[in-house]
């Protein structure tokens, strides 16, 4: 169906949006992607847009949150994981206390890691130590940035604008409360509602085993397209898109 014409622009920061919308006579739609790391900044911009009654700025939400995803991974009957290397940037917002589900019976070791090579190695060491001791605790391997209670102010900003939603995740299906969408009181900002956008259907392209790669059940090298038909320059599946994609990282750094 005809969806109109428009320009796609990348912005360095969502804070550029207010100025961009004020200078435009057309609707400006921001595609909000990300986890707890990026959501608070985007939320603060849209709360300000609402406060300043900027009528032509809209948000299309593709926000995810991590804890329901960890729960879904733990609940997979034939799960293939021994521990979680927990992301430092998300943990700076949600805090180590948010991961208490990993310490419940049936949990696995979880260690918050920083991004320097030494941080990663240290966190892996802590996971291995827990495995060798038969423990499943949450440890903070990135204490210079991550605190036990994270950043309550950032979470409060998120929660003012957004509410839990249940949308599909690659390889995991619909995760209850695993997404964040605009609250009903902010429907005026919601591009999905305002432009009556069609439902997005997720699928793996033929031959792509990205879902199994994400779940740790298969390695990128098990995919017949890996490094041949599927490369960072011409990605077939989503795991090859961006330097953070599992297949793209594997292609770059190898075993």
Residues engaged in binding ligand SF4 (CB under 6 A): 208-210, 213, 220, 223, 225-226, 230, 236-237, 239-240, 247
Closer Cβ to ligand SF4, 39 or 240, answer by number = 240
CB proximity list for 4: less than 8 A, separation 6 or greater: none
Q: Give the CB-nearest residue to ligand SF4.
A: 237
User: Pairing between strand 110-113 and 84-87?
Assistant: parallel
Closer Cβ to ligand SF4, 20 or 251, answer by number = 251
User: Pairing between strand 57-64 and 28-34?
Assistant: parallel
Distance of closest approach, residue 248 Cβ to ligand SF4, in angstroms? 8
Query: Could you give the CA distance from residue 128 to residue 100 in angstroms, rounded to a whole number?
Result: 19
* E runs forming strands in the chain: 28-34, 57-64, 84-87, 110-113, 138-140, 162-165, 168-169, 173-174, 179-182
Distance of closest approach, residue 88 Cβ to ligand SF4, in angstroms? 25
Q: If DSSP codes are grouped into helix, strand and coil, which group holds residue 85?
A: strand
Q: What is the helix (H) or strand (E) element at residue 70, kind and residue range?
A: helix 66-74
Distance of closest approach, residue 219 Cβ to ligand SF4, in angstroms? 10
Distance of closest approach, residue 253 Cβ to ligand SF4, in angstroms? 14
Residue in the block written with tokens 């305002």? 194
Closer Cβ to ligand SF4, 126 or 208, answer by number = 208
Distance of closest approach, residue 242 Cβ to ligand SF4, in angstroms? 11
């Amino acid at each position: 169906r005809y969806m109109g014409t428009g320009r796609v622009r990348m912005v360095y920061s969502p804070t550029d949006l207010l100025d961009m919308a004020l200078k435009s006579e057309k609707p400006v739609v921001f595609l909000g992607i990300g986890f707890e790391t990026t959501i608070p900044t985007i939320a603060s911009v849209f709360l300000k847009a609402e406060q300043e009654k900027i009528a032509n700025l809209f948000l299309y939400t593709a926000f995810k949150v991590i804890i329901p995803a960890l729960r879904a991974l733990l609940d997979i009957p034939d799960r293939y994981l021994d521990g979680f290397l927990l992301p430092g940037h998300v943990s700076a917002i949600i805090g180590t206390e948010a991961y208490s589900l990993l310490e419940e019976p049936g949990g696995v070791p979880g260690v918050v890691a920083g991004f320097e090579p030494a941080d990663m190695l240290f966190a892996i060491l802590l996971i291995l130590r827990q495995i060798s001791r038969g423990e499943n605790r949450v440890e903070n391997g990135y204490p210079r940035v991550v605190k036990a209670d994270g950043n309550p102010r950032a979470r409060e900003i998120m929660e003012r604008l957004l509410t839990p939603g249940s949308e599909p995740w690659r390889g995991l299906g619909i995760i209850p409360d695993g997404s964040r969408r605009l609250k009903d009181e902010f429907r005026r900002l919601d591009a999905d509602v305002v432009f009556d956008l069609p439902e997005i259907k997720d699928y793996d392209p033929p031959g792509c085993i990205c879902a199994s790669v994400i779940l740790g059940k298969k390695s990128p090298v098990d995919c017949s397209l890996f490094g041949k038909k599927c490369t960072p320059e011409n990605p077939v599946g989503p795991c090859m898109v961006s330097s953070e994609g599992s297949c793209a990282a594997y292609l770059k750094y190898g075993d």
